[in-house]
Copies of this chain bind each other. A is one copy, B any other.
């Protein structure tokens, strides 16, 4: 599932992030020590995801890397995927900022273009920090895994809506054709940002500088939202 228009809730337990109340396999709330171990397992999962392939990520390896035993892993997670889902949820929580970013910006004139640049930067650095997890989220979502799709939605929904609102407002000003559904360009922008951010290294390898990508995207973002030609130079 990609960007998601107009949704208020995500269908989870009311107001509670899944990660907020972790339980051990027998249903008990882990104490200080337990939570630390659990966190260590999550950290190792993240690290191994960043350095190796998802297909080959095994419970045994994570446990060994964390200096503990497989049995311990199963006290906190049902399987590898569940651990990755938790990582994804932690990440999604960190991504709440994007919506605010868009809403508190002005999208006209010079400062509008600056806002576009700032948004692009923000997205790029966020993706940089979360490459490995995002990669799996995308794959699993595509493969029809509902848990990951849900997380992905939470992450992109807000940004998508915020962009659509901004475009809708500009539409009222007549710069954007009235028959455009703001959700569509918003979704396209989100996709562009997400995908380019995800493949930044790929571009660099082929000689395209991040600075140029950033400019190209900022120009497209600015133009798509404001309907105005971006400032030159």
Q: Inside 8 A of A195's CB, which chain B residues have their CB?
A: 191-192, 194-195
CB <8 Å contact, B139 and A179: no
Interface size on A, residues (CB 8 A): 53
Q: Inside 8 A of A219's CB, which chain B residues have their CB?
A: 185
Nearest residue (CB) in B for A49 is: B143
CB <8 Å contact, B220 and A224: yes
CB <8 Å contact, A139 and B54: yes
Query: Which of B141, B180, B205, B215 contacts A202 (CB under 8 A)?
Result: B141
Known: A177-B233, A188-B216, A191-B195. A183 touches B207 (CB 8 A): yes
Cα–Cα, bound, A212→B181 (Å): 7
Min CB distance A12 to B, Å, is: 18
A141, A191, A232 interface centre (most CB from chain B within 10 Å):
A191
CB <8 Å contact, B188 and A220: yes
Cα–Cα, bound, A58→B202 (Å): 29
CB <8 Å contact, A212 and B184: yes
CB <8 Å contact, A143 and B208: no
Known: A2-B203, A192-B195. 14 other contacts (CB 8 A): A1-B202, A1-B206, A3-B202, A3-B203, A3-B206, A53-B145, A54-B143, A180-B212, A184-B208, A187-B213, A188-B196, A216-B224, A220-B220, A220-B224
